[in-house]
C-alpha cells in the first residue's frame, strides 16, 4: 500500500486482526516467520525483508524474502544462511534490539555519521541489490521478552518506485509485530518440545540426533513446497501443509523409544528376528498420534508408520491388521506407489539421503555425486521417482540445509 492509497484506519486494524488470527493458527516457527514477514511486506509494499531471532546475546539470521533477488514460492538456499550479529549499537538490527525502539531510515546510504550504527554494504555489493529505505522493528513478546528483530527494506509506491515508508506502515506494522512476537515464541517452543521428545529417541538410537531431525524436517518442507507448486497447488495450501509436514517429519523415528537397546545399539548386523522387532518402531510411532481431527497428528502418523515403505513394495510395516491400535496387531503385505502417503514418500527420500550424507561408525559421509547416484538409481523401486526428481532439482537448497544444521561436537 503506497502513500497515496491510504488504508482507512478501520480497514488497517481489521487487516492486522485478521492476519494475526491466521498467524495464530500456524505451528512451526519457520512458517510463522514466513507469514509475518510476507504480511508485513504486503502492508508496507516493501520489496524485501528479513527476521533475526535472539539466541543468547546475538541476533541469528532466521528468515529472508526479497522479490528482486529471489523468485517467489520456490525453494531458496538463502533461507538457510547461518550467521549472527551481536546485539550492540554498531549495526542497525543490533541497535534496534538494544534500544527496543523501531527505527525508520529513508536512505541507508545517507546516514548521519553522528549515529552510533552504520549500514553494512556488503550484502548490496555482493548481490547488486540497492538498499534504500528501511523499517526495523523489535519483536517483543509477553513480559517484555525480546524475541528478535524484523527489518523491512525498500518501500515502493504504486508506480513501483522505491521511497520512504508510509506513516501507516510506521504505525501499524509495529502493532502487528506485538501479536506476531507471541506467535513466534510459541513456534519456537513447539519446535523445542519436539526436539526434546526426539532426544529421548536419540538416547536409544545415537544416529537420531537433533541435527538429523531438523535437517530431515527442513528437507521435507522444501521438497514438498517444490513438488506442490509444480502441481499448481495454491500458495496458501502449500504453506499450511508445509507447516505440519516439517514438524511431523521431525518425529519420523519417535517410535524407536519402544525398541530395546540390544537391537538399537547393536554394533553388528541385525539378525532376521531382530530386524523384525525393529520394524515395529513404525507402529509404535504411529500409535502416539491418535487425534483424528488434527492434521498434524494425521501427518505424523502417516510418516511414522510409512517412512520405510518402498515405491515398488517390499518395505515395511505394510498393512497392519486389524489396525495399528490393536494389541494383537500384525504386520502384513507391503503397500506401494501412491498408496504410501505423500508425506511418507517425501520423508523416505529425505531420511535416506541424510544417512548417506552423514558419517556412521562404519563409513564416512558419501560425496554428493554418490548420494545422488544412489537416490536416482533407486527412484522407481525404493523411492517415488517424482520426489527424487524434485530433490535433485533443489539440491543447492538441500546442501544449504545440511550446512545449517550440523551435529554439535560430541564431548
Residues serving a catalytic function are: 256
Three-class SS state of 47: strand
Cell numbers 521417482 correspond to 385
Helix 342-356 / helix 235-250 crossing angle, nearest 10 deg: 50
Q: Enumerate the β-bridge partners of residue 321.
A: 330
Closest CB 317 distance from Fe ion, rounded Å: 11
Q: What are phi and psi of 105, to 5 degrees?
A: -125, 130
Helix 342-356 / helix 385-393 crossing angle, nearest 10 deg: 50
State which residue, 28 or 253, has the beta carbon closest to Fe ion: 253
Task: Single out the residue of 68, 395, 108 nearest to residue 226, CA to CA.
Answer: 395
**Rounded CA gap, 46 and 67, in Å?**
9
State which residue, 222 or 351, has the beta carbon closest to Fe ion: 351
Closest CB 338 distance from Fe ion, rounded Å: 21
**Rounded CA gap, 285 and 302, in Å?**
10
- Positions touching Fe ion (CB under 5 A) are 253, 351
Closest CB 248 distance from Fe ion, rounded Å: 13
Helices (H), 251-361: 261-264, 272-278, 281-286, 295-306, 342-356
CB count within 10 Å of CB 130 equals 12
Cell numbers 533443489 correspond to 394
Q: What is the dihedral of CA 217, 222, 228, 232, to 10 degrees?
A: 150
Q: What is the dihedral of CA 341, 346, 352, 353, to 10 degrees?
A: 170
State which residue, 47 or 351, has the beta carbon closest to Fe ion: 351
Closest CB 249 distance from Fe ion, rounded Å: 9
Q: What are phi and psi of 94, to 5 degrees?
A: -65, -40
State which residue, 185 or 253, has the beta carbon closest to Fe ion: 253
Closest CB 270 distance from Fe ion, rounded Å: 13
Closest CB 298 distance from Fe ion, rounded Å: 19
Q: Is 73 within 8 Å of 233 (Cβ atoms)?
A: no
Closest CB 280 distance from Fe ion, rounded Å: 11
If phi over 0 gives left and psi between -120 and 50 gives alpha, with beta otherwise, what is residue 331? beta
State which residue, 111 or 288, has the beta carbon closest to Fe ion: 288
Amino acid at each position: 500500500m503506497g502513500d497515496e492509497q491510504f488504508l482507512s484506519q478501520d480497514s488497517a486494524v481489521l487487516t492486522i486482526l485478521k492476519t494475526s488470527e491466521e498467524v495464530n493458527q500456524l505451528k512451526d516457527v519457520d512458517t510463522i516467520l514466513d507469514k509475518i514477514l510476507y504480511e508485513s511486506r504486503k502492508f508496507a509494499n516493501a520489496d524485501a525483508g528479513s527476521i533475526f531471532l535472539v539466541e543468547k546475546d546475538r541476533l541469528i539470521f532466521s528468515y529472508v524474502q526479497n522479490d528482486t533477488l529471489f523468485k517467489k514460492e520456490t525453494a531458496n538456499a538463502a533461507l538457510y544462511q547461518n550467521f549472527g550479529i551481536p546485539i550492540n549499537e554498531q549495526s542497525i538490527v543490533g541497535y534496534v534490539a538494544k534500544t527496543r525502539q523501531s527505527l525508520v531510515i529513508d536512505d541507508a546510504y545517507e546516514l548521519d555519521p553522528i549515529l552510533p550504527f552504520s549500514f553494512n554494504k556488503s550484502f548490496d555489493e555482493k548481490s547488486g541489490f540497492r538498499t534504500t529505505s528501511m523499517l526495523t522493528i523489535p519483536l517483543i513478546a509477553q513480559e517484555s521478552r525480546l524475541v528478535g528483530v524484523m527489518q523491512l527494506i525498500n518501500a515502493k509506491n504504486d508506480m513501483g518506485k522505491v521511497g520512504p515508508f508510509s506513516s501507516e506502515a510506521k504505525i501499524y506494522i509495529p502493532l502487528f509485530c506485538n501479536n506476531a512476537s507471541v506467535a513466534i515464541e510459541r513456534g519456537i517452543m513447539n519446535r523445542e518440545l519436539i526436539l526434546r521428545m526426539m532426544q529421548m529417541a536419540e538416547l536409544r538410537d545415537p544416529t537420531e540426533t537433533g541435527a538429523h531431525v531438523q535437517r530431515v524436517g527442513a528437507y521435507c518442507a522444501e521438497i514438498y513446497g517444490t513438488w506442490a507448486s509444480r502441481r499448481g497447488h495454491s500458495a496458501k495450501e502449500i504453506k499450511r501443509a508445509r507447516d505440519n509436514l516439517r514438524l511431523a517429519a521431525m518425529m519420523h523415528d519417535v517410535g524407536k523409544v519402544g525398541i530395546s537397546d540390544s537391537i538399537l545399539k547393536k554394533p553388528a548386523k541385525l539378525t532376521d528376528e531382530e530386524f523384525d522387532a525393529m520394524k515395529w518402531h513404525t507402529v509404535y510411532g504411529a500409535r502416539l498420534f491418535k487425534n483424528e481431527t488434527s492434521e498434524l497428528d494425521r501427518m505424523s502418523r502417516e510418516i511414522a508408520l510409512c517412512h520405510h515403505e518402498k515405491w515398488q513394495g517390499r518395505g515395511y510395516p505394510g498393512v497392519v491388521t486389524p489396525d495399528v491400535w490393536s494389541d494383537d496387531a500384525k504386520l502384513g503385505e507391503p503397500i506401494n506407489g501412491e498408496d504410501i502417503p505423500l508425506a511418507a514418500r517425501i520423508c523416505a527420500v529425505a531420511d535416506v539421503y541424510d544417512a548417506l550424507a552423514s558419517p556412521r561408525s562404519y563409513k564416512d559421509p558419501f560425496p554428493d555425486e554418490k548420494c545422488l547416484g544412489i537416490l536416482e538409481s533407486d527412484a522407481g523401486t525404493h523411492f517415488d521417482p517424482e520426489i527424487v526428481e524434485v530433490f535433485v532439482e533443489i539440491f543447492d537448497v538441500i546442501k544449504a540445509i545440511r550446512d545449517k544444521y550440523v551435529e554439535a561436537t560430541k564431548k
